[in-house]
Structure formats: C-alpha cells, structure tokens
Amino acid sequence: MNETPSGKIVIVGGGHAAAQLCGALATAGQGGRVHLVCEEAELPYQRPPLSKAFLKNPAEALQSFRAQAWFADAGIAVHRADAAVAIDRAGRTLRLRSGAVLGYEWLVLATGARARRLPDLAHGPNGPGGPQGELDNVAVLRSAADALRLRTLFDAAPQLTVLGGGFIGLEIAATARALGKEVTVLESAPRLLMRSVSPELSEHVLQTHLTSGIDVRLGVAVGGFEIEGQHLVALHVDGQRQTVGLMVLGIGAVPEQTLASDAGLACENGVVVDACMRTSDPHILAVGDCTRFPEGHAATLADNAGRRLRLESVQNANDQARTAAATLLGREEPYAALPWFWSEQGALRLQMAGLMPADGTRHRRPGTNPTSFSILHYVGDRLVCAESVNAPADHLAARKLLETGKSPEPALACDAAVPLKSHA
Ligand SMILES: Cc1cc2nc3c(=O)[nH]c(=O)nc-3n(C[C@H](O)[C@H](O)[C@H](O)COP(=O)(O)OP(=O)(O)OC[C@H]3O[C@@H](n4cnc5c(N)ncnc54)[C@H](O)[C@@H]3O)c2cc1C
C-alpha cells in the first residue's frame, strides 16, 4: 500500500471507528485527504450513553467526539445525512444518496451494525410498520434518532417489555426501572447474557435485576404478536397472552455490510478483513462492528488458532481504526489488541477483559464488598479472561496482565479465589 500520500481516503460511517480513524489521520497530518460520509445527521458521537445517561435524563445531550470546527481545521470534508449507496470498484468511486460521487484511492467501510428486527413485526413498506419502519410502540436502540424516539416513548409508558436479555436490552431495562417503570425482560435462552458471560455472572446479573423489581423471564417462547393498525397490542409468552405497553427489541445486531456485499467483497456475517483491515479488494478497508477479522491477541490465540471474530465494542472499533490508519499510512501493524468491554446496568458495572474460553476453569475472586467480585477464567494455569463486577481495579489488573503476558500481579493472585466448576 505504498500509494502517494495525496490519494483520497473516503470513510463511510460516522461512528466510533470512523471518529478514531479521522483522529489518527489528522494527527498524522493527513486530514486533508479525508472525506467522511455519514448517513446520520449528527457529527460522530458516543453510542454507549444512549442506553444509559442519555435515555435516563432528557436534559442529557449527545456526546460528540469532536466539534465541526475540528473537522474543518483538520481539513476533513464531512458529508452528513447522506448515506453511501454504491461502490464502483473498477472506477474507484463511491456514490452517495444525494447523487454526489466521490473518487477514492482508499475506501474505508466503518458502517457498524444495525439493530436486529423481528420479521413477525413486518417492518418496512409492506408491513404494518409506519414510515419509520416501526410500530408506534415498538422500538430499537442503535442511533441517536432511536434514542430520542425511545426517550419520548418512555414519557408516556408506565410499562416496558424488553425482548432479549443481552447487554443493550438489560441496560435499557435497568434505566427504565430506575425511572420507576414496570419492566419485564423476556429471554428465550436459559440464562441472561448467555453468549457472552459465565453462568455465575449470568446468575448475579439475574438476581440483581430481580431484586431491583424487574420481572425477568428466562427460557420463554415469545410469539403470537397481535397488531392493530400501527400498534402492538399483545404478544404470547409460552402461550399466555400479555398486553404490551411499550416494547423494545434487544435481540442483537447485524453487521451493516450491504455496500460491501453489493460490491462483491467477501462477507461472512461481517465484511471479511485481514489483520491489517484490508478487505478482499486491496483498495478497500473495513473497521469496527461491521468486520469479521482474524483473532490476533496472544492471550486467546492458543485456544482459538485460525478463528475469525466479529465483535461489537468500543475497544474493537477504536483499536481497529488505529490499525487501519497504520495501513493507510503505509505501515503494517497487524491487529492484535486485547478485547475488552463494559456494560452498566443500574447498580452493576460489568467489565470484561479477554474472551471466555470454550473450555477451562473458573475462580471467583471476592471483592471489597458483597456486590463486588471477579470471575477469572484459566486454561491450564494461564489467565485468559476476567469478568469483573463493580471491581475496576481487578479489571485493570487483568487487562494489564493479559496485555503484557506477565505473571499475575498480587492484585489478581488467585489464592483468595474460590474454584468454580469447569466449563462443561
Ligand atoms: C445503545 C448502545 C450502547 C452501547 N454500549 C456499549 C458499552 O457500554 N460498551 C461498549 O464497549 N460498547 C457499547 N456499544 C457498542 C459500541 O457502541 C459499538 O461497538 C461501536 O459504536 C462500534 O463502532 P462502529 O464505528 O463500528 O459502528 P457505529 O458506531 O455503529 O457507527 C456506524 C455508523 O455508520 C453509519 N452508516 C452505516 N451505513 C452507512 C452508509 N451506507 N453510509 C453512511 N453511513 C453509514 C451508521 O449510521 C453509523 O452512524 C453500545 C452500542 C449501543 C447501540
């Protein structure tokens, strides 16, 4: 990738990865080469607060990464409220919805993910969903527009049903409960956060939400949606009819890869990239939630050699953007960052470092009070993952240990930790 530095870089998407990439390129004095194409009207902003402080407090504003003037000073041309609609790979151009056509030397897809929707609720022009593709009392949460709509819907809704017991669903449930709403969480799996956390952490999260007054139902079959006009009136839970006030879909996200797949780039539930974030077209990179990438961190590699991953986290978006910046600047710096993540759900601050192994042993390390502890995951005697609950010092120590590969610090020594059952 030793192209002339004057080659234009077009970044599609105005989220975390795009903002980080703009920052890295501007720092390298290359902002003048960059066009940033955002389908949203806002300048890039922080997404995590949308399910937390922003949803809770009507006075809370969006947290932009940088002001308009910063982009102008850096020489970055920002195209807002104008989605990219097609890539011409042969001609190296990108067409925007407005009809504008941008030539590129390098194109970077930072298109993130979309909230998963339910076919039964038939969004779109032919279904009962309205012009926004939503029933009037069914919401998803991915963008600032979604969050503003949900904040408005919250005003009039004493009762909330959350479909899905994943991170975002539980954050919304906790926020709604803190606002005094009657909240029900419906989860089809036998435990909360099943794909992401240990059984012990699932149980702690469940008990915390139950104690706060959230009605959590696990292992349920949900269907039989009754829709009148634009309104979801009721659904059936294990065959029992339940009326619905407001419902939020927290059933995961799908990578936004339409542009890439339409252009014939390799996609496998995510735009396939190599360790330097190059797609199957050497002039197109991809970063963040939309990518499927080769796992590269030493702490997890031994267990997962050759595995390709898709992650949805701020860490992944930021670190992949740094890798892409290096690639664009002619340096090969393969992505090998340690995955880490956090979630805030009412009184719970969950922090994860590393990835849960498929097999291994777990130890519970008590914290300074009954609501604070960590679950440490080992493969043999090697720490590969740490889940911390209200224990930020453990989380930071685990990250340091996993990042440097050095033997456990006193802060994480396992002698005070109680062995738990091995993974089945
Ligand atoms: C409510 C919520 C809470 C979260 N909380 C946490 C948390 O606590 N901790 C954590 O680590 N992670 C959290 N995440 C996940 C984190 O925000 C994402 O992993 C991160 O935003 C990914 O960054 P990205 O740049 O890949 O994608 P995004 O930030 O989603 O940005 C993608 C952007 O691309 C735009 N786009 C898509 N297609 C086009 C197109 N064709 N043309 C132009 N623009 C396009 C989209 O509109 C969007 O603005 C949360 C996410 C949500 C939604």
Does the pLDDT of residue 139 top 50, yes or no?
yes
Residue count of the chain, please give it.
424
Residue 332 predicted with pLDDT over 60: yes
What does each C-alpha distance from 74 to 28, 68, 320, 328 come to in angstroms?
Answer: 10, 10, 21, 17
Name the band, by pLDDT with cuts 50, 70 and 90, for residue 3.
very low
Q: Point out the ligand 1 atom lying closest to the alpha carbon of residue 342.
A: 9
Q: Which atom of ligand 1 is nearest to the CA of 290?
A: 26
Alpha carbons within 13 A on the beta-carbon side of 198: 32
364 Cα to the center of ligand 1, angstroms? 32
3-state percent helix, strand, coil for the chain, nearest multiple of 5:
25, 30, 45
Nearest CA to 161 among 240, 222, 238, 224?
Answer: 222
What tokens were used for 115? 């909230």
How many CB atoms lie under 10 A from the CB of residue 301? 15
The residue nearest atom 2 of ligand 1, judged by CA position, is 48
Q: From CA 137, how far away is CA 229, in angstroms rounded?
A: 11
Mean pLDDT of 212-240: 96
Ligand 1, pocket-test mutation among 258, 291, 314, most atoms within 8 A of CB: 314
pLDDT at 6 over 70: no
Chain centroid to Cα 277, Å, comes to 18
How crowded is the C-beta side of 374, counted as CA atoms within 13 Å?
Answer: 29
Instruction: Fill in the amino acid letter for 380.
Output: G
* pLDDT band, residue 307 (cuts 50/70/90): confident
Residues whose beta carbon lies within 6 Å of some atom of ligand 1 = 12-18, 37-40, 47-48, 50-51, 83-84, 110-113, 141-142, 168, 256, 259, 288-289, 312-314, 317, 341-343
CB atoms within 10 A of CB 223: 11
Cβ within 8 Å of residue 370, ≥6 positions away: none
232, 226 contact by CB (below 8 A): yes
Identify the burial level of 68 via C-beta atoms within 10 angstroms of its C-beta, where 0-12 means exposed, 13-18 middle and 19 or more buried: exposed
pLDDT band, residue 417 (cuts 50/70/90): low
pLDDT digits (tens, 9 = 90+) for 337-378: 999 999 999 999 999 999 998 888 999 999 888 889 999 999
Asked if pLDDT for residue 4 goes beyond 90, the answer is: no
If phi > 0 it is left, if psi is from -120 to 50 it is alpha, else beta; for residue 155 that is: alpha
CA nearest neighbour of 186 among 118, 89, 125? 118
CA of 109 to the centre of ligand 1 (A): 12
Residue pointed to by tokens 């009721």: 234
- Mean pLDDT of the region 319-328: 98
State the pLDDT at residue 130: 44
Q: Is residue 422's pLDDT more than 80?
A: no
- Residue 409: pLDDT band by 50, 70, 90 thresholds? low
Q: Whose CA is nearest to atom 6 of ligand 1?
A: 48
- Is the model's pLDDT at 121 over the cut of 90? no
C-alpha span between 17 and 31 (Å, rounded): 15
At 256-304, the pLDDT tens digits run 999 999 999 999 999 999 999 999 999 999 999 999 999 887 666 555 5
Indicate the average pLDDT of the chain. 91
Higher-pLDDT residue of 240 and 130 is: 240
Q: What percent of the chain is predicted at pLDDT more than 90?
A: 82
Q: What is the pLDDT of residue 5?
A: 39
411 Cα–ligand 1 center, Å:
34
Q: Distance between CA 163 and CA 167 in Å, rounded?
A: 12
Q: What are 93-106's pLDDT values in tens digits? A: 999 999 999 999 99
Token pair 């709604």 is at which residue?
176
The pLDDT assigned to 405 comes to 74
